[in-house]
Amino acid sequence: MYDLHRELIETLAATPETITGLLRGVDEAQARSAVGGDENWSVIEVICHLRDAEEIGFGRMQAMRDQDKPIVAGWDQNALALEKKYAEADLAPTLAAFIDTRTQYVAALKALTPEQWERSGKHNETGDITILTHALHRAYHDAIHCAQIARQILGDSAI
């Protein structure tokens, strides 16, 4: 029998290891020059995006857990990339910040009761979401960007 909550938690917990593995042997210069994706971001900029998306996502989960049907606001990823100067960031501390927040997020998910997974919020762009559907989206988001990083480092033919 499937245990969706456990499997989702394990999937989310695996992302830092996946990214760390993809970046093994990649230096700062490579991470800056390997660009791609819809935004044409470097690997470092993708890691910055993951870090900020994780902070926002963790905050959303906490709001849905702790409040009755909070409003969950969308955000402009390109504006945030410019505001926070993603292109000037350093890889190691950015990755460490993502991993730290992901560790906290996973711990908070592990502590949820089955009823709390169904707590909801109202996203101003997409409508009703629950902690479960939001966490599923986080796992999807991870997979898309892990594949992007792999393509940028290894080349399209390696994927």
Contact 118, 132 (CB under 8 A): yes
DSSP for 84-133? TTGGG--HHHHHHHHHHHHHHHHHHHHT--TTGGG-EEEETTTEEEEHHH
What CA–CA distance (Å, rounded) separates 159 from 143?
A: 13
The strand pair at 127-130 and 120-123 is best described as: antiparallel
Taking CA atoms, 102 is separated from 2, 53, 70, 144, 154, in Å, by: 23, 10, 22, 17, 25
Spell out the per-residue pLDDT of the chain, length 159, in tens: 789 999 999 999 999 999 999 999 999 999 999 898 888 999 999 999 999 999 999 999 999 999 999 999 999 999 999 999 999 999 999 999 999 999 999 999 999 999 999 999 999 998 999 999 999 999 999 999 999 999 999 886 555
Domains of the chain: 4-158 (1.20.120.450)
